[in-house]
């Protein structure tokens, strides 16, 4: 079973939080990289693999 590391969890949590704060559409991360629905779907898959979450 895949269990993400603490760093992977943080890398997944940040774009989800930014996307949700933006409300809809596309936003950018702290480095200027695009965060869109596809990025958020992947991040949510990582977060769903965290024991006790999902």
**pLDDT tens digit string along 1-54?**
678 999 999 999 999 999 999 987 899 998 999 999 999 999 999 999 998 865
Question: What is the C-alpha separation between 12 and 5, in angstroms, rounded?
Answer: 11
Question: What is the C-alpha separation between 48 and 12, in angstroms, rounded?
Answer: 10
Q: Read off the pTM.
A: 0.83
């Amino acid at each position: 079973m895949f269990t993400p590391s603490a760093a992977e969890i943080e890398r997944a949590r940040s774009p989800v939080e930014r996307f949700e704060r933006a409300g809809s559409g596309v936003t950018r991360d702290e480095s200027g990289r695009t965060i869109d629905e596809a990025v958020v779907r992947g991040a949510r898959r990582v977060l769903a693999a965290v024991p006790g979450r999902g």
